[in-house]
A and B are shown apart, each in its own frame.
Chain A
Amino acid sequence: MTRHEWPLFEVFVRAKRGLNHVHVGSLRAADHEMALHHARDLYTRRNEGVSIWVVRSDAVAASDPADKEAFFTPSSDKVYRHPTHYAIPDNVPHI
């Protein structure tokens, strides 16, 4: 197996001011500045962004899908975090 000469980078683009950076894909680059240039040419050819982040793929830590239940299910019954959990009379304005 021939490994690629350059490491893999994950690319995040902010589409416009006021939005989060969103993961859009990956690319190969030798260094961070090259990764930024490449990200600009690859993922913003059509005016798609105002800001780019790149991060080496091997620097990303992720949750394990096998642990999905332990990670995420416990938050699903915390209904009191949601505004609709609370009954407020219709005649009370602005709340």
Chain B
Amino acid sequence: MTSFDSAAARSDAGAARIDSAGAGLDAGVARFDEAIARDQRIEPADDMPEGYRRTMVRQIAQHAHSEIIGMQPEGEWITRAPTLRRKAILLAKVQDEAGHGLYLYSAAETLGADRGDLTRRLIEGRQKYSSIFNYPTRSFADVGVIGWLVDGAAICNQVPLCRSSYGPYARAMIRICKEESFHQRQGYELLMTMMRGTPAQREMVQDSVDRWWWPSLMMFGPPDADSPNTAQSMAWKIKRHTNDELRQRFVDMTVPQAEALGVTLPDPGLRWNAERGHHDFGQPDWDELRRVISGDGPMNAQRLRRRREADEDGAWVREAAAAHAAASSPAVSSTGVSSPAASSAASILEGER
């Protein structure tokens, strides 16, 4: 029971299993391999190789961390949004990102991970998040460009993950992708509006595109030749396309959008290659990506500090709620069915209106 221990997964799947020891191990391997071969989903309590479980936890957690840290660059502009409509859109979008982080932490917890532990790993720098969020947002145009390019790149990455072999992750991604299609559109719409505005606004947009283009290309990860984990992830059907394939799709998708917008993508090597049926484009500065990933980006320290402070400042609140709940009896509760035993915090306003 070392390498195929799904009982270590959370007790969601029920009480401790009575494991049929050695026989169960071989049967577990076979079931897992067969499910992958048949393109079936792996579900939480299924037997799975420990390497698969670890890879899934790490990938889902990093994805969740990215959503949560990703609230910060745009979140700074909610209170400054120049119209109330843009303010509402941005607040709803950043709220969605918190929601997406939670869907993903929820998926990670089906694998036996604990969100408190994952948060600790993030704060202590032991787990990564997307390097894109270590760049600063300098103008309101960045809100639009993040929606267009960053969310656009994220969608390219994420749509194939809707078919990831791990069921809870795939299901979370379906929901996230649906919700994010509004994120990209609102960004593009903001940029279109600004491009119809004053010359100063058009400059803001172009400046923002100049700053975000290369980091967006980096979101697909290093070139395939330098991505040692890709092969195993593809064999396990965790990943469905290589980094370079997805990057190419993103470029092909973005070029006509840039033309329609009237901005220039800052790559002198960018041109249509009729022979390949794709755009040729330049390579990002991979040394910069390595520096940012290793913690040396413009905003790494500030992003983690904010997350750590929120977690630490909130500890007394979470502890208080836990202490209060300890005095209440647990019971199944519902909005649609009369609640057998509501906690005291809950029933407090019953009958007040």
Contact = CB atoms under 8 A, between A and B. Distances in A.
Interface of A: 1-6, 8, 10, 14, 25-28, 30-36, 40, 42, 45-46, 50-66
- Most chain A CB atoms below 10 A, which of B45, B110, B179, B336: B336
Contact of A3 (B6, B103, B117, B343): B117
Contact of A32 (B11, B322, B330): B330
A9 B17 CA distance: 21
Contacts of B45: 62, 64-65
Given A2-B117, A27-B106, A32 B346 contact: yes
Contacts of B333: 32-33, 35-36, 53-54
A60 B17 contact: no
11 contacts: A1-B114, A2-B116, A3-B117, A5-B318, A10-B12, A30-B324, A31-B325, A32-B346, A35-B333, A51-B335, A64-B14
B328 interface: yes
Interface string B316-329: 00110110110010
Contacts of A61: 14-15
B342 interface: yes
Contacts of A3: 114, 116-117
A6 B317 CA distance: 11
Interface in B15-32: 15, 17-20, 24, 27-28, 31
A31 B343 CA distance: 7
Contacts of B168: 25
A18 to B, nearest CB: 13
Given A5-B322, A62-B14, A66-B19, A34 B345 contact: yes
B114 A4 contact: yes
Interface stretch (B52-60, B94-102, B210-218, B289-297): B94-102
B46 A60 contact: no
B74 interface: no
Contacts of B315: 5
B200 interface: no
Nearest to B345: A33
A90 B233 CA distance: 53
Given A6-B325, A33-B346, A59-B332, 20 more contacts: A1-B117, A2-B116, A2-B119, A5-B315, A8-B10, A31-B328, A36-B333, A40-B335, A42-B102, A42-B103, A45-B95, A46-B179, A61-B15, A64-B13, A65-B31, A65-B43, A66-B17, A66-B19, A66-B27, A66-B28
B10 A52 contact: no
B142 interface: no
B332 A53 contact: yes
Contact of A25 (B27, B95, B103, B324): B103
Contacts of B138: none
A30 B116 contact: no
B109 interface: yes
Contacts of A4: 114-117, 119
A45 B116 contact: no
Nearest to B116: A4
A31 B347 CA distance: 12
A70 to B, nearest CB: 11
